[in-house]
Amino acid sequence: MGLMRAASFSLLTALVLLAANLPSSLGQMCCTPCSVAVLKLAIPTPVRAGKLFSVVSTLSIWCYGFLPKIRVDLVDAASYKMLTSAFILLSYSTTGSYLVSMADNATARNAPGSWALLLQAYVIERENGYPVGWWSQLFQIVVLP
Instruction: State residue 138's pLDDT score.
Output: 96
Instruction: Express as a percent the part of the chain with pLDDT over 70.
Output: 78
Instruction: State residue 94's pLDDT score.
Output: 86
Instruction: State residue 2's pLDDT score.
Output: 52
- Check residue 111 and report its DSSP letter: S
Hey, what domains does the chain have and what are their CATH numbers? 32-144 (2.60.40.2550)
Instruction: State residue 31's pLDDT score.
Output: 55
The arithmetic mean of pLDDT across residues 112-134, rounded, is 92
- Please report which confidence band the pLDDT of residue 17 belongs to, taking 50, 70 and 90 as the band edges: very low
| Non-local CB neighbours of 141 within 8 Å, separated by 6+ positions | 43, 44, 45, 46, 47, 53, 108, 114, 115, 117
At residue 49, the 3 state secondary structure works out as coil
Is the pLDDT at 3 greater than 60, yes or no? no
- Reported as half-sphere exposure (CB side, CA atoms, 13 A), residue 134 has a value of 9
Instruction: State residue 32's pLDDT score.
Output: 61
